[in-house]
Amino acid sequence: MTDTPADLPPPVYKRVLLKISGEALMGDQNYGIDLKTAERVASEVKQAVNSGVEVCLVIGGGNIFRGLSAAAKGMDRAAADYMGMLATVMNALGMQTALERIGVQTRVQSAIPMTSICEPYIRRRAIRHMEKGRVVIFAAGTGNPFFTTDTAAALRAAEMGCDALFKGTQVDGVYSDDPRKNPDAERYDQLDYLEVLSRDLKVMDAAAVTLMRENAIPIVVFSIHDKGGLARVLSGQGVCTVIGQRPAANAN
């Protein structure tokens, strides 16, 4: 399960950031981290690392605490967002444990310093970790309230010089509507950043999409639940939606 499929061509990306939601770690639970689900996601990351791709991650915190929802109910927005950042640290530590159990060296770096449990975010150190084959998980968002983990993922992808931002979602790409509710929703193979913004397709928040557009970093949307899906999409195969320019080896 953790070995890269032998029939796949070499990856067309060298360094990527994988963004997944906190909800993706819940499995069939209503709250928290499902260990089997975390282990399955970890095996997907291991396949990518075994293929030679340098990987970093950003994980949301919605499975534990959602700051925006709490703010909507009357909680101070800044305080709610800081609580959400702490939830992302919990998820990062859980994913680190799952990865290291299957032999993947991992470092957690937090935008909010908490040196007793993880490293502070230091850009050059993070790059060096990836160059050594370690997976780096960026926690605590940007360290500032009023910014989503989507924006944090876009920021870190730009800072790390990633070839693409991979967003693992509940479905296999970007649709005109929620395909789980609307069977007639149209699926897109490729989109431009401005199309995503003008159609309000809800792939990522506008700040994240704009940051990726300004840095010419493609966003690759795929299903995190598809076994072996990450390795296939990294090799230019598999089902996904690419926002921006596809790599030359994967161009149609």
Which pLDDT tens digit goes with each residue over 159-178? 999 999 999 998 999 999 98
**CA separation (Å) from 104 to 55, 73, 91, 95, 99?**
11, 40, 17, 11, 5
**Residue 250 marked ligand-binding:** no
**Residue 22 marked ligand-binding:** yes
**Residue 81 marked ligand-binding:** yes
**Residue 60 marked ligand-binding:** no
Task: Give pLDDT tens digits for 66-112.
Answer: 888 898 899 999 999 999 999 999 999 999 999 999 999 999 999 99
Judged against a pLDDT cut of 90, whether residue 19 lies above it is answered with yes
74-102 burial code (b ≥16 CB/10 A, e <16): eeeeeebbbbbbbbbbbbbbbbbebbeee
**Residue 133 marked ligand-binding:** no
**Residue 125 marked ligand-binding:** no
**Residue 166 marked ligand-binding:** no
**Residue 151 marked ligand-binding:** no
**Residue 145 marked ligand-binding:** yes
Identify the structural domains of the chain with CATH numbers, from first to last.
15-225 (3.40.1160.10)
DSSP H or E run through 147: none
This prediction has a pTM of 0.93
pLDDT of 6: 59
Under DSSP, is residue 161 helix (H, G, I), strand (E, B) or coil?
coil
